[in-house]
Amino acid sequence: MSWTEVVIEIAREHAEALSDALMEAGALSVSVEDADEGTDQEKPLFGEPGMEPAEAAWEHSRVVALTDVDADQAEIVAEAAAAIKLASVPSFTTRAVADEDWVRLTQSQFAPIHIGKNIWVVPSWHEAPDPDGLILELDPGLAFGTGSHPTTRLCMEWLEAHPAPGKSVLDYGCGSGILAMVAKKMGAGDVAGVDIDPQAIESAKDNAERNNCEITYYLPDQLATAKPDHASGRFDTVVANILSSPLKLMAPMLAGRVAPGGALILSGVLARQADEVAQAYAPFIKLGVWAEQDGWVALHGRMGSDTVPPARSPAG
């Protein structure tokens, strides 16, 4: 079977309503993309406690609707436009979607990923290239974090380079739970993860179970009512791979979760943003750049130390 995609560029205020109307009019599925993706105008959407986006749309949005190849795409668009009372029917383009073995095609695009010295992220349909390595069985999914992005890799490499057997770890903004799992497999004791997305929490729990990692995951408001050592306690290592803006806003909270002498690791920060993020944390902890990769950096520091820990040596 083949399908046809209908592509409509539209203003933010109409994107969500149009998406719903297209589904009602006969579309099989609908997604919203940033029409400025790949340009200087591209804007990421993110949410953290207290700053969740009101809608998953951009000022210049692209709505993509999947339809049966034999469907009347013009009629579907017209019906949807009328349903939300648009002044006129928006222009659209179509593109063919060929019949494929989607499972095999998707799997072929994801091979095992080697990270740091000894870490392998291995999809379930592959054998581990090095059975003696630190193996994470992890399939690509809805939650962020498979080790392919530089910020995730930097955090994983930091955790590998700074093992802390028996110590406690908090992974804030855990996504797939990959960083918490690395910490646990490196010998950490009590490990917890937090994310604002309930779907990410479920994904992280499933991944932890699959990898035989005992980790507790929370939504932010659940952490406040968690077991006492998590609700009010501090952790020997706190890692947060998010984005610079929420990281700056959360500086008092994240720093307050680091135990005396404990480590804080931040990523999701572009190299040009490193100084301003470090400044936001300066009243609480001294941070410096540990390593840089593809324009992204990982910042780290020790609670109570008057000096910034050294950066990673060029040799790794």
Binding residues for S-adenosyl-L-methionine: 152, 173, 195, 241
Locate tokens 């939504």: which residue? 219
Longest Cα–Cα distance of the chain, Å, equals 68
Locate tokens 């290592």: which residue? 237
Query: The tokens of 93 are what?
Result: 């383009």
Locate tokens 């974090």: which residue? 145
Dist. CA 212–CA 143, nearest whole Å: 19
